[in-house]
Every structure is written in structure tokens, then in C-alpha cells.
Amino acid sequence: MFNKLKQFIATLLTLVMFFVPTASVFAQSIDEVSVAEAVYNLETKVENTLLNFLN
């Protein structure tokens, strides 16, 4: 059960790490740098939280 949860969270982390930079590039392309910064900050918080949970 716990291993499946860890696998799910690792998959979620992978998806977040893939989609958030894409969202950042898109936000910058429409000249919304503040949106890109907010998305990047959110990614960093999510990533740190999940990495702490996995360790």
C-alpha cells in the first residue's frame, strides 16, 4: 500500500516537473512574467514538499 502511494507521488512529481516549465514558457511567451514567477514558485514549493515526504 505504502509503496503504491510512493509510486503515485513520484509520478505526480514527474508530471509537475514536466508541465510547470511548459507553463512557465507559455506564460513568458504571452509576456506575463509575474505568472511565470508564481508558477515557478509553486513548483518549487510542491517539489520540496514531495521530496521531503519521500525521504
Per-residue pLDDT at 51 = 80
Strand, helix or coil at 11? helix
List Cα–Cα distances, 13 to 27, 29, 30, 39, in angstroms: 21, 24, 26, 15
Identity at 15, one-letter amino acid code = L
Per-residue pLDDT at 45 = 86
Per-residue pLDDT at 29 = 65
Model confidence over 9-43: pLDDT tens digits? 888 888 877 777 776 677 666 655 677 777 788 88
Q: What single string gives the DSSP state of each residue in 12-46?
A: HHHHHHHHHHHHHHHHHHTT-HHHHHHHHHHHHHH
| All cell numbers assigned to 55 | 525521504
Per-residue pLDDT at 34 = 72
